[in-house]
Amino acid sequence: MKKAKVITKERNWLESEPWKGETAYVIGGGPSLRQFDWRRLHKENTIGCNDAYKLGRKVAKICIFGDYTWFKKHHDRLIHFGGIIVTSACALAPGNTDAAPWVHYYNRIPNGLHRDGLGWNGNTGATAINLALLLGAETIYLLGFDMGRIGGKSNWHDEIIHPNAVLPGSYQIFKDREPMMVSGLKKFPGQTVININDKDTMPGIKRIGFTDWVKNG
């Protein structure tokens, strides 16, 4: 099996606020993205959650995940992604037997948003928001943060790690922790998070509908 390694300049890049003053997009997993034109993101700063790495580096410049079970399933494909990969999965912390040298690890903090780690808040999407803030993005747009099923589908892709991974109750966990994430935005003055969605799926987060986003973009 081909081995990958962490390039030092990538670590330095991640810690230098490379997106300071710029716009970034976080690609969530929601089914509202099933018909999304991914070419819109080719020239953008992007963080792709979980399976978004399969869209390629033109779409997902950074891949982030927080679930070790997901990592084990995708390991053999993820290692060939070629882009920057970030996690807060504790099993992959440096020094652990399962740590992967080609995955950048950040300390996981249970809730909120932080400057010395990544807030988990029960889902990878919130962790990705925290990473985008640490990278210095001034405006962070969220895609696929649907917090529920659409047409019976829980994701824009069909590769679910386990049938019980996205039960209706899972979304309530996300919603219950969201106020702590919203409160954490106070630690990042001058930076804004905007949910691109036709429904108000994240109370407390600014929202713009898909049509208005396309029109203004």
| Residue ranges of domains in the chain | 23-216
pLDDT number for residue 153: 76
Q: At residue 77, does pLDDT exceed 90? A: yes
Calpha distance 148→214 (Å, rounded): 23
Tokens read off for 163: 């049938």
**Other beta carbons less than 10 A from residue 72's beta carbon:** 12
Provide, rounded to the nearest whole percent, the portion of the chain with pLDDT above 90: 70
Ordered alpha helix ranges (H), the chain? 8-14, 68-78, 124-134, 168-184, 210-216
- Strand duo 84-87 + 104-105: pairing: parallel
pLDDT number for residue 172: 74
Mean pLDDT is highest, among 31-35, 135-139, 197-201, for: 135-139
Q: At residue 2, does pLDDT exceed 70? A: no
